[in-house]
Structure 1
Amino acid sequence: MWTAYLILVVLLLVLTLLPKIQNSHWIFRVPEFGKIQITYFIIITFILGFLVDSSSDYFWYCQGLLILLFIHHGVILIKYTPLYPIKKHSRQQKSSQKLHFISANVYQFNTEYGRFIRLIEKYNPQVFLTMESNGDWEKAMQPLEKDYPYHHKVTLENTYGMHFYSKLKIQEAKTHYFVADDIPSIEIHLITEDGFSFVFFGVHPPPPSPTEEETSKERDGDLLSTAKRVTEIHKPLIVVGDFNNVAWSKSSILFRKTSHLIDPRIGRAFVSTFHAKYHLLRFPIDLMFHSEDIFIEKLSTLENFGSDHLPVYCEFFIDHYNDQQEERIEKATPEEKIQAEQMIQEGKKEDGERDAVVSED
């Protein structure tokens, strides 16, 4: 029992320290995703400590270390809970009407198309974004086009396809390939029925993992390229998608600072989306960021429709006259800007070696 306790303490320490090492290899980046689970295991191991032989000279050192690890993770995670105080804002007369969207990684090999269509019909968003949507998904979603006459489609069979559907008029639509010619990001300029213009960015960079990309270079380069592009646009703006990243990682924080956007999870909730089937192993990797004139009223996950990701649902409004969110914007230092540019260049140099057509193993 004492040996198992020691092994757990050492493992939790290693998993805490690995992300501190600024190496892009997946071994160092993957532990960032499990910070919530690591914190729970720290609590469990601390309690377990009192059930083992506490006569060892090292017992209280180990328990003290666990307390320090809990404080370290807790200080970071508490920002993404309602316990962290932020100002609440109500919709004013000069603001836009309430808008809502759904963002969903549909999982390319998920064939339960009807469940997703019923989900869209149930929540009836003004716009929705799908990721991993290929030709089969595009064909399956055609019945929705009568209600969503505006769309922008990037149909790929490599699990990085992307489709955008809208009831709102699309003024301009662009597809960017920031770091690789098979990893798209979309930029959609929209206008609401009451005359408010805003921009919707959809992103889906590749993850660092033992089964996909060996490093996080393409992911980070793609996200920071998006952040760089965002600063060139002077409209209310939302960036949403499967970031394959967590909000507290260094690259996500650098994205937020470089783009001058706000993370709506802060003071609200984790909004964990992956893996949809395993609640205890669920990470918040489908992220969203927004400009200071976008005000979030609701951000949550919706029910599973057969994908490995839960869809994200958001309600928001636009207000050009309310500057109370300005204090929530953090800007990158000159050193951080240089670092972001270096990460963009590293991402462009990386060769992902992905197949153009991916089949389910």
Structure 2
Amino acid sequence: MTLLYSFLLWTLVIILVVGTVVPLSKIQFGAVRGFEFPKEQYVVLAIFLAIGLWFFDPLWLSGYGIIGLLVIAAVNLIYIAKFTPIWSRQSLDAKEPLRSDRDRTVSVIAANVKKSNRDYGRLIDLVREKKPDIVLSIEVDQDWIDALKDGLGAEYEHWIDVPLDSGYGICVMSKLPMTAPEVRELITDGVPSIRAEMRLRGGERFRLYVVHPEPPVIEQDTKGRDSEIALIGLEAADDDLPTIVAGDLNDVAWSTTTRRFQRLSGLLDPRVGRGFYNTFSATMPWMRWPLDHLFHDPQFRLVEMARLRKIGSDHFPMWFVLALARTEASNGSVGEAEPGEDVSVKRMIVEERNRERDAIGTDWEDED
């Protein structure tokens, strides 16, 4: 039995080492990039495995294993520590009187509803309760659009809806005026995103991007997802309006791709210094990470941020309230782009746009 315990412990140690080391290669493949997601779980598992080796493994190698596991825990902590309260906050808190100036604030609910989820009333009730200025709904099909319009059409004057049966549908409904809204398939056919100019009640304008790139899957590369996220970053950097980028990025906040997005765009992540706010999976508490994001221009200040209650989806919805100041400010830098990074990114974007293939995962919801 002791040897069986040792075998199981060392098997888990090897898996943990692979999961930590492989993503350092930055290879753009689902089987590699997927290992970036559960870093919180890696830290906890490394600590428990070290305890297990100390008490249950009689082999002389256990001491080396314990040291290695502590190193693995430390490496993963380096990535996720910035999303805990011990870290300096990246985006600034709004102060009075800006905080209470309704003419300069915008509230947002961002929700991946899961297309096969038919409990429309839970999201509708949540929206009626929170009364956001903007609601972003992802994975909507025509049934979802019909339900949202029946339940909330009288409260939201401005709509952009792209119902799709593939799981890539997007809907934006807003109490704030929208100018020149665009629905675009930036990289892959069948994967839409939305861009619109928004106007606050006081007349100030800002740009809103809503995105839902492809997910990483084991057997395919992630260049489509990575290209779309990078392209939005480049556009945000060149935009002449203060910018908000929101949606289900199918990527975690500490990943290679998301960190590069921040370097390219200069946008801030309000999670930094505040918490993980894990949104997926709503159904598996032991496997959760932050997939649903909002990044904002340094001209915005954070008023509120919260993970909201379940709506029948495999994602939790997120709640954000931002206030638009007249100056740019932040508590910390997002980092400078690496030499040649923009050139390599633009090359990847061109290559992906020219590649003919179907969007990833369009039949997943058909299996539910």
Mark yes or no: TM-score above 0.5. yes
Distance 2:121 2:30 in 1: 35
Of 245, 251, 265, 1:245 maps to 251
Counterpart amino acid of residue 302 in structure 2: I
1:268 shift after superposition: 0.9
1:175 shift after superposition: 1.4
SS of the residue corresponding to residue 218 of structure 1 reads helix
TM-score with structure 1 length normalisation?
Answer: 0.94
Distance 1:72 1:94 in 2: 39
Of 323, 327, 344, 1:339 maps to 344
| 1:152-211 CA-partner distances (Å, limit 9, x unpaired) | 11122111010000011112211121112211110121111112211111000011114x
Match of 1:175 in 2: 183
Distance 2:130 2:169 in 1: 23
Aligned residues: 357
Counterpart amino acid of residue 124 in structure 2: I
Q: 1:107 to 1:53 in 2, by over 3 A?
A: closer
| 1:267-314 CA-partner distances (Å, limit 9, x unpaired) | 111111111111111121112211100111222211111111110111
| 1:104-149 CA-partner distances (Å, limit 9, x unpaired) | 1111111001111111111110101001011111101113111000
TM-score with structure 2 length normalisation?
Answer: 0.92
1:334 shift after superposition: 3.3
| 1:73 and 2:80 matched | no
Q: Structure 1 stretch 335-344 or stretch 148-157: which is displaced more?
A: 335-344
1:350 shift after superposition: 4.0
| 1:126 and 2:129 matched | no
Deviation beyond 3 Å, 4+ runs, structure 1: 87-90, 92-96, 349-352, 354-359
Distance 1:237 1:74 in 2: 30
Match of 2:108 in 1: 101
1:244 shift after superposition: 0.3
Match of 2:144 in 1: 137
Asked if structure 1 preserves the Cα contact closer than 8 Å seen for 2:212 and 2:249, the reply is yes
Asked if structure 1 preserves the Cα contact closer than 8 Å seen for 2:279 and 2:307, the reply is yes
| 1:49 and 2:53 matched | yes
Aligned 1:200-349 pairs, distance under 5 A: 200-210=208-218, 214-321=220-327, 323-325=328-330, 327-349=332-354
Counterpart amino acid of residue 146 in structure 2: K
Q: 1:84 to 1:137 in 2, by over 3 A?
A: same
SS of the residue corresponding to residue 135 of structure 2 reads strand
Distance 1:175 1:325 in 2: 31
SS of the residue corresponding to residue 168 of structure 1 reads coil
Asked if structure 2 preserves the Cα contact closer than 8 Å seen for 1:91 and 1:317, the reply is no
Asked if structure 2 preserves the Cα contact closer than 8 Å seen for 1:172 and 1:190, the reply is no
Asked if structure 1 preserves the Cα contact closer than 8 Å seen for 2:168 and 2:192, the reply is yes
| 1:71-125 CA-partner distances (Å, limit 9, x unpaired) | 1111211100111023753335467533211001111111001111111111110
Distance 1:216 1:357 in 2: 18
**Aligned CA-pair RMSD:** 1.9
Distance 2:47 2:362 in 1: 45
Asked if structure 1 preserves the Cα contact closer than 8 Å seen for 2:94 and 2:323, the reply is no
Asked if structure 2 preserves the Cα contact closer than 8 Å seen for 1:39 and 1:70, the reply is yes
| 1:30 and 2:44 matched | no
Asked if structure 1 preserves the Cα contact closer than 8 Å seen for 2:110 and 2:137, the reply is yes
Q: 1:94 to 1:112 in 2, by over 3 A?
A: closer
SS of the residue corresponding to residue 335 of structure 2 reads coil
Match of 1:186 in 2: 194
| 1:304-330 CA-partner distances (Å, limit 9, x unpaired) | 111111101111111013x33175343
| 1:43-81 CA-partner distances (Å, limit 9, x unpaired) | 110111122134x32111111101111111112111001
Asked if structure 2 preserves the Cα contact closer than 8 Å seen for 1:149 and 1:166, the reply is yes
| 1:2 and 2:10 matched | no
Query: How high is the sequence identity, in percent, across the aligned residues?
Result: 27
Aligned 1:81-96 pairs, distance under 5 A: 81-86=84-89, 88-93=92-97
| 1:203-232 CA-partner distances (Å, limit 9, x unpaired) | 00011114xx71111100111111122122
Counterpart amino acid of residue 129 in structure 2: K
Asked if structure 2 preserves the Cα contact closer than 8 Å seen for 1:254 and 1:340, the reply is no
Distance 1:47 1:351 in 2: 50
Distance 2:52 2:60 in 1: 17
